[in-house]
Amino acid sequence: MITRRAAAQLLASTAAAATLGAGPALAADKVIVIGVDLPLTGADAQGAIRILHGAQLVFDQANDANAVPGYTFKLAVMNDATATAGQYDPAQAATNARKMVSDHGLVAAIGPEMSGSGKAMAPILSEGGLATITPASTNPDITNPKFAAEFMPAGKAIYFRTVTTDAFQGPEMTMFMAKKLGVKSVYILDDSGAYGVGLADAFEGQAKKIGMKVMGRDRLDPKNADYTTTLTKIKAANPQALYFGGVDEAGVKLVKQAYQIIPKMIKGGGDGMVAPDILTAAGFPAAQGWYATIAAPHLVGDPKSQGVIRAYKAKFGIGPDDYALTAYDAGLIIIGAVKTLIAEKKPINKATMRDAIAASKTPTLQGVVEFDKYGDMKSHIVSVYQIREDKSKPLDDMIAQYHYLGPAPQV
């Protein structure tokens, strides 16, 4: 006999399942909400959308396969880019973090992409006890115990990563330049941003440590258009290589003007230089030959990732980049943490999820991911790329135009 209450429940849950499109999930499934924070519009949109698709794929697959019986995952996607900033906006990221923390059903998050957003979000997430896993932001300060008062005021790690930090991305590129390219002297530039300065500092520290000669260090103003003065200075100093810590806003202009003034010099940067603008706005021939790194293993080229990549392409029509797959990994870790809690018969809330993520040893596309007590991955692989024009592919096809060279030597 169907009581009135049971009928109402049935009706409500059928309606919920229909609107969610939850596929084979049972009508009585509990919904687990996962927050996502990314700069989905403006200058950073292309990479952010790829990352979002990576997160969507892993949870859709889990829902379709009924990976966690009795539970359905749902994403709460938030955009941290604003029209006034034209790109990611730390103030908006902080607002999103507050929304996530105050949402009772939201138990874990993926994101942000940008370290500037991460710095704004971390203290709020810490106070709210909400764990996030970033698939792309690499500034080491956020997880550095020296800055714990600022970024983890509540004490426990809440900012986890499926990429390594600039504390490795910079120095391992130094080692790549020294060992693989035979660079003995270098000139270092940054773009005066938090990410760029930190990365350039890390590169410089390692260069001094191994006796690579630092011929100079200068700072570019990303709002300025003219870098010919600085580049002329570099030309006169005549180093073997130029290293740039920064993102594409200054990067595009640097690539263009460096091609005019120091065309033959070895030039490299970090993951800020892995951006479609470098290919479309700076373009060829200027961008040809630039080196850049990703703070993760080259998952796109890994045979173990191919099944996921096929599913990704089939679902979204474009291929993933490495940070789309580290976002997939972040999703796997969250799903793994939910499974652990269910197996241990613990409630699923922000606090238990945080502890489960911190203790997890989840097999992912990049192997088993383990975190140190601050939230950083124990492994620290940096992949090196070189821009080489592939005329058969579209200009902004980053996977075709950024040619994978191999992992950088570890430090």
Q: What residue ranges bind another protein (CB under 8 A)?
A: 41-43, 45, 83, 86-87, 192, 218-221, 223-230, 232-233, 235-236, 238, 248-249, 252-253, 256-257, 260-261, 277, 280-286
Q: Least distance to another protein from the beta carbon of 56, Å?
A: 22
Q: Least distance to another protein from the beta carbon of 183, Å?
A: 20
In DSSP terms, 318 is beta-bridged to none
Spell 125-164 as b/e; 16+ CB within 10 A means b: bbebebbbbbbbbbbbbbbbeeeeeebbeeeebbbbbbbb
Q: How far is CA 148 from the centre of its chain?
A: 21
Q: Least distance to another protein from the beta carbon of 195, Å?
A: 17
Q: Locate 16 and state its tokens.
A: 């919920």
Residue nearer to another protein on the CB measure, 66 or 82 = 82
Residue nearer to another protein on the CB measure, 163 or 286 = 286
Q: Least distance to another protein from the beta carbon of 81, Å?
A: 9
Q: Least distance to another protein from the beta carbon of 47, Å?
A: 13
Q: Least distance to another protein from the beta carbon of 42, Å?
A: 4
Residues 62, 302, 340, 100, CA torsion sign? negative
In the DSSP assignment, the letter for residue 377 is: B
Residue nearer to another protein on the CB measure, 62 or 255 = 255
CA-wise closest residue to 326 among 374, 377, 286, 373: 377
Under a CB-based contact definition with an 8 Å cutoff, are residues 126 and 354 in contact? no
Q: Locate 46 and state its tokens.
A: 């292309």
CA–CA gap between residue 31 and residue 42 (Å, rounded): 31
Residue nearer to another protein on the CB measure, 191 or 376 = 191
Residue nearer to another protein on the CB measure, 27 or 45 = 45
If you write DSSP's letter for every residue of 97-120 in order, what string do you get? HHHHHH-TTEEEEE--SSHHHHHH
CA–CA gap between residue 219 and residue 172 (Å, rounded): 22
- Give me the count of residues in the chain: 411
Residue nearer to another protein on the CB measure, 192 or 352 = 192
